[in-house]
Every structure is written in structure tokens, then in C-alpha cells.
Structure 1
Amino acid sequence: MKMKKWLAVFMMAFVASPSWAAVAATLYKDPNCGCCEEYVKYLNAHGFAVKAVNSSNMSAIKQQYGSDKLASCHTMRVGQYTVEGHVPVAAIQKMLKAQPKITGISVPGMPANSPGMGPEVKGTLKVYVLNQSEKPQLFSIE
């Protein structure tokens, strides 16, 4: 009987553990964008629970969340951060773990070797900090 009780406590702790919980995110996208849907699939496959929201005014969303200077096709909110474009999961996880005092991160444009655009080529994508600086600052290379 003690073993069953211990196992039940262990299973409850395992299921409730935040490290195993999906990371909630809201992704704003143009309703006609196919690569955005592919990026949502990529995120869901890597532990994110993404709510996709169609918007016909992406410029306003990018201005609201501070990603208009390093824009791509979609804008995502994860906790207090903005993730602009086809940012690899490794960079998002790095940001969430470090919790830097930044607006967020971006892979500007739509690079062909980024998640959701085609085969991801690790070590080739420059991820930039979203901030008020005129000159883009590198966050990481993924």
C-alpha cells in the first residue's frame, strides 16, 4: 500500500512540474500566411502551446509589442517577451531561462533556413535583441 501511495505522489509531482509543462504563447499572424502555420507546428512540436490569432493589421501589433524595427511576418508573445519571426526554439528557451531585461528577440525577414520556412540549418541564424537601440544587437547565433 505504501508503494502505491508513493507512486501516486511521484506521478502528481511529475505531471505538475513546470519543466514538463507546455510553454503558453500567443502568435499574431496574417490569415493568409502559410509559413506562420508551419512555425506554429514547429513550436507545438517543441513544447509550446501556441494560440494563433489572425490579424489584418500586423503593423499595429508590431508597434504595440516593439518589434516593428526588426520585423518579420508574425509576432509572438511568450510571457513578458516578444518573439518576432522565425526564431529557433533554442533562442526562445535561452531567453526564457536567462530572463534578460529586454523587449524580446527577433530573426528579421524570412530566412529560408529558419524554422517554418524550410529546413532549419543550425548555427546560421542571427537572433537579435528587440530594444530601443538604433543599431541591432546580437542575442545569439542559432
Structure 2
Amino acid sequence: MSRLSLIALALLATATQAAPREGTLYKSPTCGCCAAHAVHLREQGWVIREVATQELAEIKQRYGTAVAPSCHTLLMAGYAIEGHVPAAAIERLLREKPASVRALSVPGMPAHSPGMGAYTPGSVAVLAIDHQGKTRPWGKF
């Protein structure tokens, strides 16, 4: 491989890694913890657009997260992220890109998850949701 080819590959890898993660977070107009979760993701360098809406039930139904609902839904890179999912779990999803996973969820609003008080890494149980609406453990983050 030529020196020029190696330089081009290195630049491509750097550009890919440096590209910001972007997503749209749909939330209730009155929810503060949803905005706090967006802050958690922004602290990772991600670009998160917040959209206040009264149509969360329809969004959850459309994107398959109604089976394990929480207070907000984030759409990112073709996946739905339901609730206070830690950035590390989302990073794993985006890195592995499993065809069998449609969404991730942290159902409800558990304490110590990102946006729900002081986050305790390793304490948040995350579920994967498949295309048939079945859930399975994704891990603790």
C-alpha cells in the first residue's frame, strides 16, 4: 500500500471518529428530566435536538418502544432510544449495529440513570427491543 493510500485511510478514520452523533429527542413540553438526559448525551459530544410534543404515545408506537416505555424517545442513526439510556449503551449499539435490534430502552424513570439525579455507571439495566416487539437484556451500564 502506498504512503498516500495510508494517509488517506488515516484521514478517513479520523473523520469518521470525529463525526458527531446526532439525534432528535421527543419529550413532553413540561419534562425536565428529559432535558437532563439530553445534557448527558451532549457531554459525550453528541448533537441532540429536543422537540417538545404532545404526541409521545404515537411516536413510541411508530418506533416500537411502547412495549417498554419511558418519558422520552430519542431517534438516532436509525434506532429508537427509549428513556434514560446511558451513552455507553448507545455507543455499543452504534458500534455493533445488530440487525435484530430496533431500539434500546430503560423503562420507567429509574433513579441514578442519566438525567435522574447522580448517574451511577453500571447500575442501569438496559433492554434491547427487536422488530417483533420482544425485549431482552442488553446489559447494565
Shift of 1:99: 0.2
The aligned residue for residue 110 of structure 1 is 109
The aligned residue for residue 126 of structure 1 is 125
- The alignment of Structure 1 onto Structure 2 pairs a total of residues equal to 130
1:116 match: secondary structure: coil
Q: Distance in 2 between matches of 1:129 and 1:21?
A: 25
What's the Cα RMSD here?
A: 1.7
Q: Is the 8 A contact 2:67 2:133 kept in 1?
A: no
The aligned residue for residue 75 of structure 1 is 73
Identity %: 37
> Between Structure 1 and Structure 2, which shows a larger proportion of helix residues?
1
Normalised to the residue count of structure 2, the TM-score between the two structures is 0.86
Q: Distance in 1 between matches of 2:82 and 2:65?
A: 6
Larger Rg: 1
Q: Give the letter for the 2:93 counterpart.
A: M
Q: Distance in 2 between matches of 1:99 and 1:108?
A: 21
Q: Give the letter for the 2:92 counterpart.
A: K
Shift of 1:130: 1.3
What residue ranges of structure 2 are gaps of 5+ in the alignment?
1-6
The aligned residue for residue 95 of structure 2 is 97
Normalised to the residue count of structure 1, the TM-score between the two structures is 0.86
The aligned residue for residue 54 of structure 2 is 56
The aligned residue for residue 6 of structure 1 is none
Q: Give the letter for the 1:105 counterpart.
A: L
What residue ranges of structure 1 are gaps of 5+ in the alignment?
1-8
The aligned residue for residue 20 of structure 1 is 18
Q: Distance in 2 between matches of 1:133 and 1:45?
A: 31
Q: Give the letter for the 2:26 counterpart.
A: Y
2:67 match: secondary structure: helix
1:26 match: secondary structure: strand
1:40 match: secondary structure: helix
Describe the superposition over 1:58-99 as per-residue Cα deviations: whole angstroms up to 9, x where unpaired.
100000110001000000111111100000000000000000
Shift of 1:133: 4.6
The aligned residue for residue 3 of structure 1 is none
Q: Distance in 2 between matches of 1:88 and 1:23?
A: 14
